[in-house]
Structure 1
Amino acid sequence: MSQFFKRFLPDPDRLANTWGLRWLGPALKHPRLWHFSRRGIAVGLGLGIFFGLLIPIAQIPFSAAFAVLLRANVPTAVASTLVTNPVTFGPIYYLAYQVGATLLGEDAAPPPLPGAAAGEEGADQESIWDKITGLGKPLLLGLGIFAALGGLGAYLLVSWIWRLKIWWAWRQRVRRRRMVQLP
């Protein structure tokens, strides 16, 4: 199965010689960054979901850099940042705001956007800034909670499923051996 995925991955030597990644050269050639192992996949997925939910920009460079530092699977870390994409971005951020506002004891309804009310043509800059910064604390708290729980949950889920798969394969082998040994 891992051979199927490996054919879609970029060559580590080619990446190490790419202009923007040349400074990471030797680090990108480490075999654990490209190997499909339980730990590498679990940590890579956890990192990707963590950074995908935590920060709205530069998710891929952050997850890739931390994957290199933690020797996790880089392709998994990069691909899992796509948990937030143009389709999921709105609902995730709205729910994160709702969770953050509830935990902070604030009104759960987000403030109206500047200029959204009828007859509000010239809102002053200070009130616009207040409305934008009013979203900040609840949204950051909600995103932090989602990122921490999502990353940890992904790591634990992958580890559990991987162990369950190994246990199941072992059980099947034992069952087959018993069937062969029966007279």
Structure 2
Amino acid sequence: MKKLFRKYIPAPHTITENRWLSKLGPRIKDPNLWHLNRRSVSAGIFAGVLCAFIPLPIQIFVAIFFCFFIHGNLPISVASTWVSNPFTYIPLYFFCYEVGAWIVGVPVDTTGNPIRVNFDIILTDFDAFLKQLAEVGWKAMGPLFLGCAIVGLTSATLSFIAIRLVWRLHIYRSWNHRQERRLKKSSH
């Protein structure tokens, strides 16, 4: 399992000597942030996936900061923030909004109908469209942030558990293969 991660993760010295990251001081050189073991990788995945659901462009920085406290693997954490990327933003945040809206109730207008954006006016009255979009955006922020928190925490927890289980399964299989080889070797 370590070989798989080492293949794609840059060497710690290349990251710690980066001119931007070196400003984080001696904490960035903490060896616990660079270990590849079941605990650090699963904690790094947890931090990265959780921060991937922050609907602001600060995900990587929050993941790095979070890793300092939970001693998660820093490169794994940064890489796992890319669960949300330009290709997945729209479906991901739409799903998060739907979850949040389901929990708190969909924002409604004065007549009790769900708020919808009228895309037909984009060509006729662009200013009215922007005003309508801004109004809907402010009302949608609460459900979006709540949905992001719930979906992010759930996804991060499931990712944490999955990494722990897969790593344990890998170790279990390795032990069994070694035991089989020993038995074959001793029988000859």
What percentage of aligned pairs have identical amino acids?
28
Contact 1:17 1:25 in 2 (8 A): no
Contact 2:97 2:143 in 1 (8 A): yes
In the alignment, what sits opposite 1:146?
Answer: 151
In the alignment, what sits opposite 2:94?
Answer: 94
In the alignment, what sits opposite 1:80?
Answer: 80
Task: Tell me: CA distance 1:68–1:180, structure 2 relative to 1, closer, same or farther (3 Å).
Answer: same
Q: Which has the larger displacement, 26-35 or 169-178?
A: 169-178
Contact 1:16 1:24 in 2 (8 A): no
Could you tell me how far 1:97 is from its partner in structure 2?
1.2
Cα deviation 1:67-117 (Å, max 9, x = unaligned)? 12222110001011000101011100111111111222326966216xx33
Q: TM-score, normalised by structure 1?
A: 0.82
Q: Distance in 2 between matches of 1:125 and 1:75?
A: 39
Q: TM-score, normalised by structure 2?
A: 0.80
* 1:172 corresponds to 2:182: no
User: Which of 116, 120, 123 matches 1:117?
Assistant: 120
Amino acid at match of 1:117: D
Amino acid at match of 2:177: Q
Amino acid at match of 2:53: L
Amino acid at match of 2:172: W
Contact 2:55 2:93 in 1 (8 A): no
Unaligned runs of 5+ in 1: none
Q: Which has the larger displacement, 152-161 or 65-74?
A: 65-74
Could you tell me how far 1:138 is from its partner in structure 2?
1.5
Contact 2:46 2:160 in 1 (8 A): yes
Amino acid at match of 1:178: L
User: Which of 136, 141, 162 matches 2:141?
Assistant: 136
Q: Distance in 2 between matches of 1:103 and 1:4?
A: 39
Amino acid at match of 1:149: T
Q: Distance in 2 between matches of 1:121 and 1:3?
A: 54
Amino acid at match of 1:34: W
Contact 1:12 1:28 in 2 (8 A): no
Could you tell me how far 1:171 is from its partner in structure 2?
1.8
Q: Distance in 2 between matches of 1:143 and 1:162?
A: 28
